[in-house]
Amino acid sequence: MTDETRGPALHRDDDLTEHLRALTAPPADPAYWDGLHARILARVAQGREEGEWWAISERTYRLGLLAAGLTLIVSGSLWMRARAIETRMAYESQIETPADVQPVFARRGLFDDDRPGAHRAPGQR
Domain residue ranges of the chain, discontinuous segments joined by +:
27-55, 57-95
Q: Is the dihedral of CA 28, 29, 33, 36 positive or negative?
A: negative
- Tell me which of 53 and 10 has the higher pLDDT: 10
40 versus 108: which is more confidently predicted?
40
Q: Would the pLDDT of 31 be above 80? A: yes
Q: Model's pTM, two decimal places? A: 0.36
CA pseudo-torsion sign 115, 120, 124, 125: negative
| Exposure string over 58-78, b if 16+ CB within 10 A, otherwise e | eeeeeeeeeeeeeeeeeeeee
Given a cut of 70, whether residue 100 has pLDDT beyond it is no
What pLDDT sits at residue 20?
92
Helix (H, G, I), strand (E, B) or coil at 10: coil
Per-residue pLDDT, 43: 82
Query: For all residues of the chain together, what is the average pLDDT?
Result: 79
Averaged over 32-55, what is the pLDDT?
79
